[in-house]
């Protein structure tokens, strides 16, 4: 069975400082992993995805994530936070051969950016 | 511009009433999904459809129904049997994949917020 755990429900950073949003996953097969961002009262927007190519994945808006199989982690980082990065972020896993379920969503991390 | 359109943005339901949420996509995607989002929780899958005229229950299908008569459209009906319907509902689509597996990202609409009167 697949699962995903976002280790922090809230993260607060100052503008211009680095961002780290942590995600651990559990998967029976070779997973595909995604990070999505959600602004208030909006749908989810894809930031980046990992599908067994390069382990360091670059996404939009300066975000990147590193797939570490030995640690079963897929943490999201950004070197310098911007006020517009304040939003909710979801780590998502898609597992081969899991039957009905195509994607499993983490519970989300709310990122606050202080001026 | 391709995308997913959900309507209405806000919807109110009276006790004992069925309401239908609309979802239309012009991305030519085969697969479509409905999710429910509650505060502080991730998305939970209600129903999904891999092709026209076929759909499958997700994790929380009780009290909901769907149809998939056209590739572009995947409406969700919240029936009176759903006792706690207040939530944010999100529709998504993706390039089709084998049932239960997809390494393709999903594209989301902007959601419908449903409340009880």
The answer on pLDDT for B98 being more than 60 is: no
Q: How far apart are CA A112 and CA B70, in angstroms?
A: 41
- B24-41 mean pLDDT: 91
Quick check: B105 and A49 CB within 8 A?
Answer: yes
Q: How far apart are CA B59 and CA B57, in angstroms?
A: 7
| pLDDT tens digits along A67-106 | 998 999 999 999 999 999 999 999 998 865 555 456 889 9
The DSSP code for B66 is: E
Q: How far apart are CA A85 and CA A78, in angstroms?
A: 10
Query: Which structure tokens are listed for B102?
Result: 């997809």
**Omega before residue B8 within 30° of 0, cis:** yes
| pLDDT tens digits along A12-60 | 999 999 999 999 998 777 788 999 999 988 899 999 999 877 889 999 9
Considering A85-99, B60-74, B103-117, the range whose residues carry the highest mean pLDDT is B60-74
CA A20 to chain centre: 10
Minimal Cα distance from B91: which residue of A? Answer: A43
Quick check: B110 and A41 CB within 8 A?
Answer: yes
Please answer whether residues A72 and A95 qualify as being in contact, where contact means their C-beta atoms are separated by less than 8 angstroms. Answer: no
Quick check: A106 and B106 CB within 8 A?
Answer: no
pLDDT band at residue B1 using 50, 70 and 90 as cut-offs = low
Q: How far is CA B30 from CA A98, A111, B33, B79, in A?
A: 20, 33, 10, 26
pLDDT band at residue A6 using 50, 70 and 90 as cut-offs = very high
Interface check for B108 against chain A (CB to CB < 8 A): the answer is: yes
Minimal Cα distance from B88: which residue of A? Answer: A41
pLDDT at residue number A96? 59
The answer on pLDDT for B95 being more than 90 is: no
Quick check: B59 and A101 CB within 8 A?
Answer: yes
More confident call, B109 vs B81? B109
Please answer whether residues B87 and B97 qualify as being in contact, where contact means their C-beta atoms are separated by less than 8 angstroms. Answer: no
pLDDT band at residue B50 using 50, 70 and 90 as cut-offs = confident
Query: Which structure tokens are listed for B111?
Result: 């959601």
């Amino acid at each position: 069975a697949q699962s995903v755990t976002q280790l922090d429900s809230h993260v607060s950073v100052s503008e211009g400082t680095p961002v780290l949003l942590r995600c651990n996953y559990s998967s029976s097969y070779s997973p595909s992993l995604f990070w999505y961002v959600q602004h208030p009262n909006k749908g989810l927007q894809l930031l980046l995805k990992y599908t067994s190519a390069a382990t360091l994945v670059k996404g939009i808006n300066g975000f990147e994530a590193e797939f570490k199989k030995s640690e079963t982690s897929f943490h999201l980082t950004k070197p310098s936070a911007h006020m517009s990065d304040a939003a909710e972020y979801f780590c998502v896993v898609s597992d081969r051969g899991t039957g009905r379920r195509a994607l499993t969503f983490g519970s989300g991390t709310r990122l606050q950016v202080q001026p | 511009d391709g995308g997913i359109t959900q309507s209405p943005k806000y919807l109110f339901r009276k006790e004992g009433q069925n309401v239908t949420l609309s979802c239309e996509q012009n991305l030519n995607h085969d697969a479509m999904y409905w999710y429910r989002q509650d505060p502080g929780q991730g998305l939970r899958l209600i129903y999904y459809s891999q092709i026209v005229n076929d759909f499958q229950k997700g994790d929380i299908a009780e009290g909901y129904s769907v149809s998939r008569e056209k590739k572009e459209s995947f409406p969700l009906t919240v029936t009176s049997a759903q006792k706690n319907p207040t939530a944010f509902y999100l529709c998504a689509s993706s390039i089709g994949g084998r049932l239960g597996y997809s390494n393709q990202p999903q594209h989301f609409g902007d959601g419908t917020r449903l409340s009880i009167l």
